[in-house]
Amino acid sequence: MKNIKTLAVFAILLSVILVAGCLGGDKTKGQAGFGEDSLDVFIDTEGRSTFDSGEEFTITIDAENFGPFDVSDVNTSLIGFGGLSLTDPDPGEKLSHERKLSSFFGRPQPELDVSGGFGTEDWEVTAPTVSEDSPDVNIRLTGQVFYRTKSLGVQKVVVADKDYLVQMEERGETVPVNPVTDALNGPVSLDVEVPNPYVIVRADKESSFVVKIMLNNDGSGNVYARPTKLGGGKDRDYLENVTITYPANVGLTPDIDGNCDFELDAGNKIKAISTKLRMMSGGASRDLSCEFKLDADSITGYQTFEFYAQTEYTYLQDVVTDIVIEGTN
């Protein structure tokens, strides 16, 4: 009973998030198969791109959450800064060090006229020394922003008893087929694929079906596993987790020891095996699946099952600007 109540609460929360996330957004919001960056990231160098040798100026990174979820652990760093240096660094501080932008950026809520969380970070820097008779120094400056986010999906599957299905067809009736996946995606889109139109069970035959999760990096950046999550060095293409919550006490069990990329987590939830969490094809996509076995005795007529899938990950976006350092006396 506890698992059923938990699943019901999860369903209500996801429905609220799906509705709220779609209000005021474009048509791809809240649909399976579409993911996009969650942050708008900007880089500015005092509104100009040319500086004198040894000149002091400010580099600014701005980030704003326009995505469907709250995001957390928002950090930023600079790379590709050439001969630039910090103007007045603290002991041991380097221009390459990562900085905390925010621990939390709330999602935008247009129905309440609330904008998404926003943060800014400044670096006071000094241009390299370039003599008057030397060529200008061109620097391609890249600002990076890391943040934790997620993607959610819910999928229904209809399971029908074979004899009951025949009786319905004889009456000219049909079993309703499963709808498309309802999803709310961060940069990594999540689709759930189940049998279509429905699973047929027979009392004299073991029945099973496969639930497949398709993940695709639709954003502009990379999935980026943090060292604290992997227990090792930085690695840019690992998801933190992928889970499936399935209906409990309905004669449905995942075939953990057989055709399954998942292992038991807790209650009626399974989690992806850690070796399956790497995003393949250069960080672009990953498919995971698990076979579920059905107890035919538990199916009377037809039933609709709901599966909830979720993935969490750290995402890396970057933004680039070009600056020129001119020589002076």
The yes-or-no verdict on residue 115 having pLDDT over 90 is yes
DSSP per residue over 156-194, as a string? EEEEEEHHHHHHHHHTT--PPPP-PPEEE-SSEEEEEE-
Same domain, 131 and 207: no
Looking at residue 196, its pLDDT comes to 81
State the CATH number of the domain containing residue 119. Answer: 2.60.40.10
209-264 tens-digit pLDDT: 999 999 999 999 999 876 655 455 556 688 999 999 999 888 899 999 999 999 99
Element spanning 104, H or E: strand 99-105
**Residue scoring higher pLDDT (47 or 251):** 47
Same domain, 89 and 64: yes
Same domain, 216 and 254: yes
Looking at residue 98, its pLDDT comes to 94
Same domain, 185 and 293: yes
Same domain, 191 and 321: no
Query: Is 218 in contact with 283 (CB distance < 8 Å)?
Result: no
The yes-or-no verdict on residue 147 having pLDDT over 80 is yes
Same domain, 258 and 231: yes
CA distances from 124 to 94, 137, 163, 197 (A): 12, 19, 75, 61
- What type of residue sits at position 179? P
The yes-or-no verdict on residue 29 having pLDDT over 50 is no
d(CA 279, CA 121): 30
- Residues 274-281, mean pLDDT to the nearest whole number: 84
- What type of residue sits at position 84? L
Same domain, 261 and 322: no
Same domain, 65 and 128: yes
Same domain, 118 and 216: no
Percent of the chain with pLDDT over 70: 86
**Mean per-residue pLDDT over the chain, rounded:** 86
Same domain, 194 and 233: yes
pLDDT band at 119 (very low <50, low <70, confident <90, very high): very high
Q: Is the bond preceding 197 in cis, omega lying within 30 degrees of 0?
A: yes
**Residue scoring higher pLDDT (284 or 58):** 58
Query: Is 233 in contact with 225 (CB distance < 8 Å)?
Result: no
- Structural domain including 71 reads 39-147+317-326
Query: 210: burial class by Cβ within 10 Å (0-12, 13-18, 19+)?
Result: middle
Same domain, 114 and 221: no
Query: Is 144 in contact with 78 (CB distance < 8 Å)?
Result: yes
pLDDT band at 54 (very low <50, low <70, confident <90, very high): very high
pLDDT band at 120 (very low <50, low <70, confident <90, very high): very high
Same domain, 154 and 293: yes
Q: What is the pTM of this model?
A: 0.84
Any idea how long the chain is?
Answer: 329
The yes-or-no verdict on residue 36 having pLDDT over 50 is yes
Q: How many domains does the chain have?
A: 2
Looking at residue 235, its pLDDT comes to 60
